Structures are given as C-alpha cells and as structure tokens.
Amino acid sequence: MDARDTVKLAAVQLGEKKVRTALTIIMVIIGVASIVALTSQTAGESQSIQKSLGSLGPTAILVSPSGKTLLTSADVAEISSLPNVSSVTPIVTGSGTLTVDGVNQSVTIVGVSTNGLSEIMGNSTFLYQGSLYSDNTTPASAIGYDVAYSSSTEPDVQQVGAGETGTIQTASKSKIAVSIEGVLDEHGTSLISVDNTVFFSLPFAEVLLHKDSYSEILVKATNASSVTALTSLLEVVYGDNARITNTAQLASTFSSITSSTTTLYLIIAGISLLVAAIGIMNVMLMSVSERIHDIGIFKSIGFESKDVLVLFMLQAIFIGFIGGFLGLGTGVAASYAISYAGGLHSGPTGAVTPGSFTGGAGSGSFADRGSSGFAGAGGGGAVFVSSTSGSGGGFESTSSSSPTSSSSSSSTITPVFTLSVILESIAVAVAISIIAGIYPAWKASKMEPIDALRTL
Amino acid sequence: MIMPHYSVQVRDIEKIYHSGDITVTALESVSFSLREGEFAAIVGPSGSGKSTLMNILGTIDKPTNGEVYIDGVPISKMNGNQLAEFRNKKLGFIFQAYNLIAGLDAEKNAELPLMASPVSSDERKERADRLLGSLGLAARLKLKPTQLSGGEQQRVAIARALVNNPALILADEPTGNLDTKSGDEVIKLLRQVSKDRKVTIVMVTHNLDITKYCDRIIHIRDGRIEKQEVLK
C-alpha cells in the first residue's frame, strides 16, 4: 500500500475519535513535557552553579569555624604564612534591614576589605555604579545589584542608587545611618551572597554586628594545582576546629546533588511516560476491537496483513509524534515559566548566604526558600553542606530576612535545552508509542477476514 | 481441462466444521460452473450453507475438500497474502450492510481496493469518479456514508466492487437492507454491469422476486445443491 494512503487512512481513523485521540496525546505531552522541563531545569541549575563556582575561582578555599572555634586575625596571619597561599580574606557576615526613603528590605550584611571584595567577585572591576567604601570605620557601603533593583513589580527601575543614604538595622536593634557609595555588578548565584548584600568595610561591620571574630576566611591558593595540597594542610592545621571547603569539593557535591535530583526527576517523568504508554495501548486495543469490522473489509478487498499492521502502528506513532512535539513545546514553556516564577530555584535571592554556608542559618535559609517546593540545588545544596558543620557565627536572624523583602527574584538560572534532550524526548515519545502500539496492531493484522466480517 | 470461458468452477467441494465432538457438514459435494458475465443467484433457507459457499467463493474461507477455480486459478494452494492479492485483483464484494468505511467519503471508499494495488492516485480517483458517475452518484462524491441513503451507499459499494475490474463479484443479500424500489434499482444495476462489463456475479438472496433478473438460480438446501434453474 502506498505510504501516503496509509498515512491518510491512519489519520482518518484517529480523526474519527477526536476526543479520545486528544486525551491520549495529552498523556504523552505530560510525559514528554515533564522530561524536558525537569532536565532543562537541572541542567540550567548545574550550569549556573558551575559558573558561580568558577567566578569564585578554582583556587578558592573557604575556612569556616566549627564548634566553639573563633577565627581571628591570628588565624589570618597563620594562614598567610602557609605555602601556596596567594590571598587571605577575612569576612564577617550577618543580616539586617536596610531602609532607604522609607522602603525596607532585608539584606545580608558582609564586612570585607575592598581587596577582599575583589577576591569574592573574582574580578578586578566589578562596580556597576559609584565607588567603593574605604577600609576604615566610616559607615559607608556598596550594595549588591538586587538591593539597587529591589522592586518585584518594576524590576528595571533602580530603587536605590549610589550617593543615597539610608539606615541599617540588625538583630541587635541598633539603627545606624549609612551612606551608599556604590552598586556592584550583578553576580548571580554564588557561594557568598553578593546580589542581595550590603557590603561594609571589615572594621565597620565588626562594630555593626558586634563581632570579635570572623565568620569565615576566604583563602586563595597560588594556582589550581596547589589547591588540594593547601586544603589538606589547612585540614591538618585546624583538625575539627574548622571546616575546610574548596571549590572543587563544592562543585562535586553540587554535581552529585544535581545528578541525584536529575535521576529523581527522570524517574518521575518516566512514570508519567509509562502511564502514557499504557494509555496508548488501551486506546489502540479499543480502536482495534471497534474496527474489527473495518479490518474485515480491508482484508476482504485485498489489504494484506502488513498493510493492516502498518495502518494501526501509524496511528500509535502519530500519537507519539504529535505528543512528543507538543510535549517538547509545553516542556520548554513550562521550564521558562518555572524560571520566571523562580519556583524551582532560589527564593528571594539567588545566592547562598554565608550564613547558610557556615551552618548557623542553614535551616533558616531553607525556610527562606520555602516558596520553592524543590528548594533547588542552589539553596538546598548549600544547606546540605552546612548541615554537617557546626554552628557558625550566629546568623540565626537570616531566617527572618526574606518575608518582608521586596527584592526581586533575580536568580539568573536559565533552563538549558540541549539538542540531545530535544531529540531524545521526541524519540522516547515515538518509541513508547511504537511499543504500546505493537500488540494491538499485531492483533489486528492477524485477524482472519471471515472472523472479522462476522463480528457485526 | 479447465474450460477457459468459465470464470467460476466449483468442483465437488465439502465444508465440515468441528465443534468439540460435534461435526457439522455445511456443504457437501457442491459443483457448478459459471460463464463469464453470468449473473447467478444462490437461494435457500437459513443455515442451508449459502453464506459458507459465498465465503469460499470469496476466498475468505477454505473448503475442507474439493477445489474452486476462479478465472482458471485454483485457490486452495494460496497463502494469506497471495489470497489478499488475488481478492484485490479478481474479486469484488458487496455486502448486505454495505460495509463502507465510515471515515471516508464516497469517492475514497470506491478507491479503497486500488489503494492496496500499485495504481497511481490520479488514475484511482478518475476510475472511482467515472464509476460513481455511471451509478448516478456524480454529485455525491464528497459525502460520507452517513450522509447517503441506503440505496446510495449500496451503489458506492458496487463502485468499490467494480473499481479493480474484477472477474467475479460476490453480493451477499445486496438488497437486504433496502426498500423495494432501491433494491430493484440495485439489482438492475448489477444486471447491467454483468452484461456490459462481462463480470460474473454471484448473489445470495432470500428474495425470490429479484432472481428474475438473473441468468441462473442455484437452490441450496442442507448443504447440497437441490436444483439449478437456467433462465432465458
């Protein structure tokens, strides 16, 4: 039988049962869309994490206090004296509320030297606007990009700019007037919160946050090949008193988390595809028994078994193909919608705060991101890391930061659609429809014309 | 040995059904021959074996013993696909319930047998249109079976049976679902077709009234040929 005729006949038969065909196609769409949406999300997530880790640099090592250990300038001096050390940046962190022109927003507070800030940014030029603060006790700050563009309704309108002044209030209730000297470039998801952070000089932040020790120390090795050696050395020096983490370890932790979420997602998507396959088979079996009479006619006027087989297989393949394409489109749309809503990823900030990193605010920051059911590998991953370490510098207040926050969700995780995912999802849809269609089609083709015609 | 001008030769066929321990003989030593262009009616009471004989002539059932030659070709040796091809080239079917494909319009239904053969779609369409036109359906080509009257549907079925220029058309109670007037029209058409196109037609019917248009009437009772009448 001519291929075009077969296609036409198959289409005619499907078209006769429009609602049923549509419902079956929807089953396939759901299966394929969930594969596409979930894998593109995890791919985007892991790409974004890798990029962020990259911006911190492959040579970065973070020393966080564990238990009752306090990190002080003595530690900075000691670490500086170790071999293969390129820079040592002490950091204090906390959280508070920044008020400018009567508008409150919850922010992360980081105290770091201007040189240290460039180590965090992984770049020597990172100013979006204005200038940096001085490394003294002046109440001057530089704010992250999201602090400047804090409105969720008008994400393109800058709310706070360089040269303005405001007040900062911390958990210790002090309310201090501060000047905003500059705005930093957008940084994206990072190990150390940047975009939703107000940066101060180290001495000022120590006063503001009532700290006499550092929250963590960012160490950079001279080159990537010496990172492992330096990490081991720091582990020997600190033993149980600090947690030593380097970028490579984090990268592998994150990637193992994303790969296990990917597996989980694929299982979920696979189940919906299985349901779709059963649906197709059910519909095809129904179709065959409804069309026994037609099959009898086809066979009595000279159609061969293989013509009938192909006719029914084609119907199943149509369902798979149409469902695959529409599912791909739906999946892409859903994935962007998820990204836009910030659902699967971070909540208010795209960054992992130092608090959650060191563990003090771990569960708190998880709650922050409570808007996301999946919590994302970004936020959730960091919590996972920090939960193994002891209580950090006491940033419990981080947990209260976000509900009042008006900062926009600028998590810049873009779903990643690889050609292989696109082709595979359609191939999978067609494959399941073929598998589901084989038995009914075979059953139809084996029917004797006389038996088929007798069934009236 | 086989006379070439016979388009159907039935040689001593027998059909026995086994159902558990019970053996039913549906046909017993049935023999007859039909000339090219002959219009034959098979009549007899229900359960006499008419339908079994039709199915055997239609090659969708096989006799237990004996042989059937259609257009000189013995059909007992052919396998399923060969039979399908044979049916496609040599046979046309007309059923009591018309048996059109509901999703296809009149034109496509008439084309259907040619879809299983290597005939170009243009030629297919032309042949179907010409046949439907000659059967008075020129204005109904694009209508679906449900939009056609019973008589019209049966005429589409006749076009479908004729489209492959068969040697033999098998009509199973072709007027059974039609009123007298439409039934008469259908029979007259079949009469016309067999004469004009030299196609042999075997028709099963209960209606002795319509057998007056036939050349030959084969009476079957209890699986045997009771008598054959040759008219004119």
pLDDT score of A301 more than 60? yes
Query: Are residues A297 and B103, on separate chains, in Cβ contact within 8 Å?
Result: no
B/e letters for A14-45, b = 16+ CB within 10 Å, e = fewer, are beebeeebeebbbbbbbbbbbbbbbbbbbbbb
Residue B17 counted as domain residue: no
Cβ count within 10 A of residue A366: 21
Q: Which residues of A touch B117 (CB under 8 A)?
A: 302
Cα separation of A366 and A131, whole Å? 33
A336-354: average pLDDT: 54
Residue B29 counted as domain residue: no
CA-wise closest residue to A8 among A311, A447, A242: A311
Task: Write down the pLDDT at residue B1.
Answer: 52
Convert the pLDDT of each residue in A96-128 to its tens digit.
999 998 888 999 999 999 988 888 887 778 888
Q: Which residues of A touch B95 (CB under 8 A)?
A: 453
Task: Write down the pLDDT at residue A455.
Answer: 61
Residue A145 phi, psi (nearest 5): -60, -40
Confidence of residue A190 (pLDDT cuts 50, 70, 90): low
Task: Enter the DSSP assignment of B229.
Answer: E
B196-222: average pLDDT: 92
Task: Write down the pLDDT at residue A58.
Answer: 75
Q: What percent of chain B has pLDDT over 70?
A: 98
Confidence of residue A407 (pLDDT cuts 50, 70, 90): very low
Which amino acid is residue A450, in one-letter code?
I
Partner-chain residue, chosen from B102, B116, B121, that has the shortest CB–CB distance to A302 = B116
3-state secondary structure A45-98: HHHHHHHHHHHHCCCEEEEEECCCCCECHHHHHHHHCCCCEEEEEEEEEEEEEE
Mean of per-residue pLDDT scores for chain A: 78
- Shortest CA distance from B92: residue in chain A: A301
B219 close to B226: Cβ distance less than 8 angstroms: yes
Residue B26 counted as domain residue: no
Cα separation of A266 and A421, whole Å? 12
CATH for B168: 3.40.50.300
Q: Is A297 on the interface with B (CB under 8 A)?
A: yes
Cα separation of B62 and B64, whole Å? 6
- Measured at the CA of A292, the angle between CA A288 and CA A296, to 5 degrees, comes to 135
Residues of B with CB under 8 A from a CB of A: 55, 58, 60-61, 80-81, 84-89, 91-93, 95, 97, 99, 101-104, 112-113, 115-117, 121, 160, 164
Q: Which residues of A touch B165 (CB under 8 A)?
A: none
Domain count of the fold of chain B: 1
| pTM for the model | 0.64
Nearest Cα of chain B lies from the Cα of A302 at a distance, in angstroms, of: 4
Confidence of residue A391 (pLDDT cuts 50, 70, 90): very low
Phi-psi sector, B173: left (phi>0), alpha (psi -120 to 50), beta = left
Pairing type for strands B200-205 and B168-172 reads parallel
Output the six-digit token pair for B76.
């007992």
A211-234: average pLDDT: 88
Q: Is A16 on the interface with B (CB under 8 A)?
A: yes
Token pair 């084996």 is at which residue? A446
Residue B170 phi, psi (nearest 5): -110, 120
pLDDT score of A68 more than 70? yes
Cα separation of A253 and A344, whole Å? 19
- Measured at the CA of A405, the angle between CA A404 and CA A411, to 5 degrees, comes to 145
Task: Write down the pLDDT at residue A292.
Answer: 87
Nearest Cα of chain B lies from the Cα of A323 at a distance, in angstroms, of: 23
A284-307: average pLDDT: 87
Confidence of residue A189 (pLDDT cuts 50, 70, 90): low
Cα separation of B72 and B93, whole Å? 19
Task: Write down the pLDDT at residue A310.
Answer: 92
B42 close to B202: Cβ distance less than 8 angstroms: yes
Q: Is A305 on the interface with B (CB under 8 A)?
A: yes
Convert the pLDDT of each residue in A416-446 to its tens digit.
888 888 888 889 889 999 999 999 999 989 8
Query: Are residues A4 and B121, on separate chains, in Cβ contact within 8 Å?
Result: yes
Query: Are residues B88 and A303, on separate chains, in Cβ contact within 8 Å?
Result: yes
pLDDT score of A368 more than 70? no
Cα separation of A201 and A92, whole Å? 10
Convert the pLDDT of each residue in A276-289 to its tens digit.
889 888 888 888 88
Query: Are residues B87 and A301, on separate chains, in Cβ contact within 8 Å?
Result: yes
pLDDT score of A387 more than 60? no
Partner-chain residue, chosen from B93, B103, B121, that has the shortest CB–CB distance to A301 = B93
Q: What percent of chain A has pLDDT over 70?
A: 81
Residue B77 counted as domain residue: yes
Which amino acid is residue B144, in one-letter code?
K
B143-154: average pLDDT: 93
Q: What percent of chain A has pLDDT over 90?
A: 18
Task: Write down the pLDDT at residue A342.
Answer: 63
Q: How large is the angle between the packed helices B150-162 and B180-197, nearest 10 degrees?
A: 20
Within 13 A of A126's CA, how many CA atoms are on the CB side? 23
A416 close to A43: Cβ distance less than 8 angstroms: yes
Task: Write down the pLDDT at residue A173.
Answer: 67
Q: What is the DSSP string of B99-156?
A: ---TTS-HHHHHHHHHHTTT--HHHHHHHHHHHHHHTT-GGGTT--GGGS-HHHHHHH
pLDDT score of A398 more than 60? no
Q: Is A18 on the interface with B (CB under 8 A)?
A: no
Q: Is A449 on the interface with B (CB under 8 A)?
A: yes
Confidence of residue A376 (pLDDT cuts 50, 70, 90): very low
